[in-house]
Amino acid sequence: MKFHKAPTLFLVILSLISATNSMGSSHGPNKGGYWPSWSIDLPPSAIDTTLFTHLYYAFLIPNNITFKFEIDDPTALLLKNFTTTLHEKKPSIKTLFSIGGGLVGPKLFSRMALGHDSRKSFILSTIEVARKFGFDGVDLDWEFPQTPIDMVNFGHLIHEWRVEVKKEAKSTGKPELLLSAATYYKPEVTLDNVYRKYPVESINKNLDWINAMCYDYHGSWDLSTTGTLAALYDPNSKVSTSDGLESWIKGKIHREKLVMGLPLYGRTWQLKDPSLYGIGAPAVDVGPGDEGQMLYADVEKFNVKNNAKVVFDFPTVSVYSVAGVSWIGYDDVRSVKIKIEYAQELKIGGYFFWAVNGDQEWKISRKVRLCSDHFYARKGEEESCIAIYLYVKYTKVVKRLYRKVD
Ligand SMILES: *[C@@H]1O[C@H](CO)[C@@H](O)[C@H](O)[C@H]1NC(C)=O
Ligand SMILES: *[C@@H]1O[C@H](CO)[C@@H](O)[C@H](O)[C@H]1NC(C)=O
């Protein structure tokens, strides 16, 4: 199927659908990227800042007893270098430091958020660090609140945080610090069979936006079958980016505060039988890469080197490559473009990448910019963008028809 040749019938249907299409607020879309501070071969000066509006330093971790940050000298230099370099390259860029991350257990934050005093100690320390090193804001990456009580405390924390940053801005005359949080891909979490839900009302009131982590739907924690890392749709389960984002919207998040995560890495499996290689094929172990993970740039290299078969899976809007028994699920330029179009249809706040070191030639980020700028600006015509746009409309129409049949 040639991607940009749309059947006539569906063109007619499309023309009947209103084409109002925008993402974000009057400030334009939030285009974020996390910079892992351990990416030695990608210093801040090598980040193409034209592609982003927000860049996150990942990560800082507070002391697990005082909940304050203790910054050693090399880290201090790096923090200062990050904000100075990026602001020099692009004065309008917003820099945030991100706290926590996937490798920090959730218990640290659970203990910090439990009491008023520990929250206050943490909050004041975040403000001090942000100002000292020239950041525009702070991002909390608590993966993930584990209980309903954690979720309540998360709500208290962001409320008190907002009060303090307002107060600080007033007394110093500086612009108020931005506050964001990286969250689960949907508002209701049932991991470990404990039901808990993010405090959406408090998020709307107190955070500037959330980065919904729309990836890691399948991975090395289930080696029995291959699976998609970040499917937009999943015909066989509800675990998908469309389900996550639509759940946040149903959960009443303000749309402009919702930012969609995009992975710049792949997850790998070792197939049981190289002739059975679809999504959900039997697997026996992790595949190539680092414990079943591989940066997008390395996936591309691996595919070329091993003459891999690359399959774009339309129903899920995801990509996988197969070489012998090696199987890699990931996102490429095309799947990311479709997701961004989808996000624009939903009128959410923007997108972010985990992480910028995965795409050092900026293949995805650059192509995506062309497309998204085109649609925000509504001027100029770029053929592939139109094709993507039609595809998303088409998928919606098909979904609607299916629903009617049900
Ligand atoms: C705090 O961190 C220290 C040093 O890493 C560790 O030994 C200790 O067990 C941690 N305490 C708690 C309560 O997690
Ligand atoms: C940041 O660090 C790089 C590499 O260490 C250095 O070349 C550059 O001058 C530094 N920039 C700033 C603004 O400190």
> Among 37, 78, 81, which residue has the most ligand 2 atoms within 8 Å of its CB, making it the best to mutate?
81
Q: Is 345 a catalytic residue?
A: no
Tell how far the Cα of 102 is from the centroid of ligand 1, in angstroms. Answer: 17
C-beta of 89 in contact with ligand 2 (< 6 A): no
Q: What is the mean pLDDT of residues 224-233?
A: 97
Q: Give me the helices (H) in 90-147, please.
A: 106-114, 116-133
Residue 389: pLDDT over 70: no
Using alpha carbons, select from 73, 34, 27 the residue that is nearest to residue 56. 34
Query: Which helix or strand (DSSP H or E) is residue 265 part of?
Result: strand 265-271
pLDDT single digits (tens) 162-179: 999 999 999 999 999 999
- Nearest atom in ligand 2 to the alpha carbon of residue 88 is 13
In the chain, what percentage of residues exceed pLDDT 90? 79
The whole-angstrom separation of Cα 150 and Cα 106 is 10
Report whether pLDDT(294) > 60: yes
Confidence of residue 27 (pLDDT cuts 50, 70, 90): low
Between 365 and 159, name the one with better pLDDT: 159
Say yes or no: CB of residue 42 within 6 Å of ligand 2: no
Residue 361's pLDDT band (cuts 50, 70, 90)? confident
Which residue lies with its CA nearest to atom 10 of ligand 2?
A: 81
Q: Which residues contact 376 (CB under 8 A, 6 or more apart)?
A: 22, 23, 24, 28, 29
The single residue of 70, 143, 300, 341 carrying the catalytic annotation is: 143
**pLDDT tens-digit series, residues 313-339:** 999 999 999 999 999 999 999 999 999
Which protein residue's CA is at the shortest distance from atom 1 of ligand 2?
Answer: 81
Write down the pLDDT at residue 366. 84
Hey, which residues does 312 pair with through a beta bridge? 319
pLDDT for res 18: 34
- Look over the chain and give the mean of its residue pLDDT values, rounded to a whole number: 89
What is the pLDDT at residue 7? 41
* Backbone torsion region of residue 67, taken as left when φ is above 0, otherwise alpha when ψ lies between -120 and 50, otherwise beta: left
Choice among 2-11, 115-124, 214-223, 292-301 with the minimum mean pLDDT:
2-11
Which pLDDT does position 218 carry in this prediction? Answer: 97
What is the pLDDT confidence band of residue 384, given thresholds at 50, 70 and 90?
Answer: low
Ordered by start, the domain boundaries in the chain are 8-263+332-405
Which pLDDT score is estimated for 235? 87
In short, whether 315's Cβ falls inside 6 Å of ligand 2 is no
In this predicted structure, the answer to whether residue 308 has a pLDDT above a threshold of 50 is: yes
Is ligand 2 within 6 A of the CB of residue 81? yes
Question: How high is the pLDDT of residue 360?
Answer: 79
Summarised one tens digit per residue, pLDDT across range 155-166 is 999 999 999 999
How far is the C-alpha of 321 from the C-alpha of 268, rounded, in Å? Answer: 9
Separation between Cα atoms, residue 336 and residue 366, nearest integer Å: 11
Q: Note the pLDDT tens digit of each residue in 241-285.
A: 999 999 999 999 999 999 999 999 999 999 999 999 999 999 999
Give the pLDDT score at 236: 86
Q: Is the pLDDT of residue 146 over 50?
A: yes
pLDDT band for 36, please (50, 70, 90 cuts): very high
Q: Assess whether pLDDT exceeds 60 at residue 10.
A: no
Output Rg (C-alpha) for the chain, integer angstroms: 21
**What is the distance in A from the centroid of ligand 1 to the CA of 64?**
6
Mean pLDDT of 296-311: 98
Q: Does the pLDDT of residue 12 top 50, yes or no?
A: no
Structural tokens at position 30? 């939030």
Instruction: Give the rounded percent of residues in the chain with a pLDDT score beyond 70.
Output: 84
Structure tokens at 393: 């409309």
Q: Return the pLDDT at 347.
A: 93
Answer whether residue 373 shows pLDDT above 80: no
The CATH number of the structural domain formed by 8-263+332-405 is 3.20.20.80
